[in-house]
Amino acid sequence: AQTVTQSQPEMSVQEAETVTLSCTYDTSESDYYLFWYKQPPSRQMILVIRQEAYKQQNATENRFSVNFQKAAKSFSLKISDSQLGDAAMYFCAYTRNNDMRFGAGTRLTVKP
């Protein structure tokens, strides 16, 4: 079964600085999708960024970008110019056939 591992239970960043959240996954498939979701205290999961495994180019969404290393099965999220509103739980997720699997999450704190 596919597994997703987030090795950083908590991370902290100073406002306006850059932080990188790590994610690794295990799969024998070559075609799949990876996601980063944000979960604020309101509990609603919000999509941050998505990467298709067949694309070599790293996805970027404004201040959010990923470093996708397919051979290493690594999918890290970089948040630039961190803002107070970025504080939340961040979940890495993998999907191929409908059953999206999530990591345990990283709690990001942003210090003013």
List residues near other proteins by CB under 8 A: 4, 6, 33, 35, 37, 42-47, 50, 91, 95-105
Our CB check for other proteins shows the closer of 16 and 47 to be 47
Our CB check for other proteins shows the closer of 99 and 112 to be 99
User: Shortest Cβ distance from residue 34 to other proteins (Å)?
Assistant: 11
Buried b (16+ CB within 10 A) or exposed e, 59-72: beeeebbbebeeee
User: Shortest Cβ distance from residue 86 to other proteins (Å)?
Assistant: 18
User: Shortest Cβ distance from residue 24 to other proteins (Å)?
Assistant: 14
